[in-house]
Amino acid sequence: MMASAPAAIDSVRIAFSPNGLRLLNVIIALIMFGIALDLRVDDFRRVVTRPRAVVVILVTQLVLLPALTFGLTQALPLAPSVALGMILVAACPGGNVSNLMTHLARGNTELSVTLTAIVTAGAIVFTPLNLSVWASLDPGTRALLRVVHVDPVSMFFTIFVILGLPLAVGMLLAARRPSLAARMRGPFRRASMLFLLAFIVMAATNNWSAFMRHLPEIFPIVILHNALALALGFTTAALFRLGARERRTATIEIGIQNAGLGLILIFAFFGGLGGMAYVAALWGGWHIVAGLLLAAVWSRRPPADADADEAADETATVTPAR
């Protein structure tokens, strides 16, 4: 059960300049633009041709992960701001490095790209919706929502500007100038990730004493939350008997969240509320470490259905003689 009295971390506010916040907005917009360079309209159409895996993972991402997170906040003695940060992270779309990690893990990269496209576009609606629904179920987090007066409509427009517009522009460029998009793809992905990590380090440095004081309190929670998210993705895919490659994809998609977007929303709507900001910042660093470690293990182990998938692809490309 959540702590009934406000904890010290609930009163902490992360100090960050308006210019720093504008920089974070630009970084996330560039990350979304870089993701969009990999996306095509056909990525959305694949839902029709391969609906089962897509639907299973989408329901896990948009429904089960926030529900699991809420259950975890009820099971642990958490400060309301920490619980609200966990709910917000779970409500964010998948992280932008999930496609790369899926590729390294020998998962289904095409499926990962499809999910990235759909979940990122859907975040315009589902992120504020999930945050409002699950945070309102607990008195502590509900009180924080009232204090900061979070307007779901304002959050919708903020997410649309940060995610929707860069996504549309990037996809348009990829469709009209594919060769230019191909050249930009790698540098954009690397640079945007470096800028985001630099931002998190800078934010931690500017608030170093408070950050270090609460690190032992928050870091184990972030590790547990991320481990449960990874396990949820794998377990759900296994229960619905998805293939080995799809199980790897589901694990990574559910365990890698766009914590950078979470930070923007925390600064924009919650005044840099300490517990929330610590959760999002630590998640932003840890999920990359956990995802890469998992991808490294899986990269050494071919998925059980890899040979069958490759054979099916070869059969599909052979034209029978007539």
pLDDT for residue 183: 84
pLDDT for residue 233: 96
Q: Give the list of residues 6+ apart from residue 244 with CB closer than 8 angstroms, or none.
A: 303, 304, 305, 306
pLDDT for residue 63: 96
Euclidean distance between CA atoms 186 and 211, whole angstroms: 33
Euclidean distance between CA atoms 320 and 317, whole angstroms: 10
pLDDT for residue 321: 40
Helix intervals (H) in 37-177: 41-49, 51-59, 65-75, 80-91, 98-104, 109-135, 139-148, 152-159, 165-176
pLDDT for residue 71: 96
pLDDT for residue 320: 42
Backbone angles phi, psi at 257, to 5 degrees: -115, 155
In CATH, 15-198+214-311 is 1.20.1530.20: yes
Residue 13, beta-bridge partner list: 273
pLDDT lower than 50: segments of the chain: 1-6, 307-322
**Can you tell me which residue has the tokens 């900001």?**
277
List the one residue out of 266, 263, 231, 264 whose CA is nearest residue 250: 231
CA distance from start to end of the chain: 69
Two tokens, residue 198: 């630099």
Q: Is pTM beyond 0.85 here?
A: no
pLDDT for residue 4: 41
Q: Model confidence over 10-54: pLDDT tens digits?
A: 655 565 556 666 776 777 777 778 777 776 766 566 656 768 899
pLDDT for residue 244: 92
